[in-house]
Amino acid sequence: MSGRGAARTVVDGSGLRVAVVAASWHEEIMEGLLAGAQRGLRECRVDQVTSVRVPGSFELPVAAARLAAEGFDAVVTLGVVIRGGTPHFDYVCQGATAGLTQVSTSTGIPIGFGLLTCDTEEQARDRAGLPGSSEDKGFEAATAAVATAVTLRSLAATSAVPGSRRALV
């Protein structure tokens, strides 16, 4: 299972503004991902949360870009793409992943990557944080985005101190 060995990253995200953008396909799985993300944000003490829905996973990057431009400290993206019998799966997964990476690197805003790319619906359910799931990718995406935002904020504060030096490990 891909989640074995994953660190449980919960930091204090008080004062952060976080947006959650979620696709609409595969309603049951998406509800699990959303619930996990909301739980993760609560555990990180984030109380300024805006949630929006988009039609599908391919639309996640454009919504994330708009939210990043609107001053959010982090954006959590949630979606699920299940392999079918055509190359559509590959195009959507590649486009969404490349788009989200571009948004993060071009804006400097952390993007929580909660996009499930699975061969079967059962694999997606097992990662969606539903009862009986072995993983909770919504929770992981939210807490990773908050942890990165906190780290970036501390780097900005360190670089603002005259004479300070910092090393990235």
Domain ranges of the chain: 17-155
How far, in whole angstroms, is CA 9 from its chain's centroid?
A: 13
Nearest to 146 by CA among 71, 66, 49, 44: 44
- For the chain, 169 residues long, give each residue's pLDDT as a single digit of tens: 455 656 677 899 999 999 999 999 999 999 999 999 999 999 999 999 999 999 999 999 999 999 999 999 999 999 999 998 888 899 999 999 999 999 999 999 999 999 999 999 999 999 999 999 999 999 999 999 999 999 999 988 776 655 545 544 3
One of 28, 52, 62, 88 is an active-site residue; which one? 88
**What helix, strand, coil percent values describe the chain, rounded to 5?**
45, 20, 35
φ, ψ of residue 10 to 5 degrees: the values are -125, 120
Whole-prediction pTM value? Answer: 0.89
* Residue 108 burial by Cβ neighbours in a 10 Å radius (0-12, 13-18, 19+): exposed
88 is a catalytic site residue: yes
- Asked if the 17-155 domain carries CATH number 3.40.50.960, the reply is yes
Residue whose entry in the numeric block shows the structure tokens 């969404």 = 96
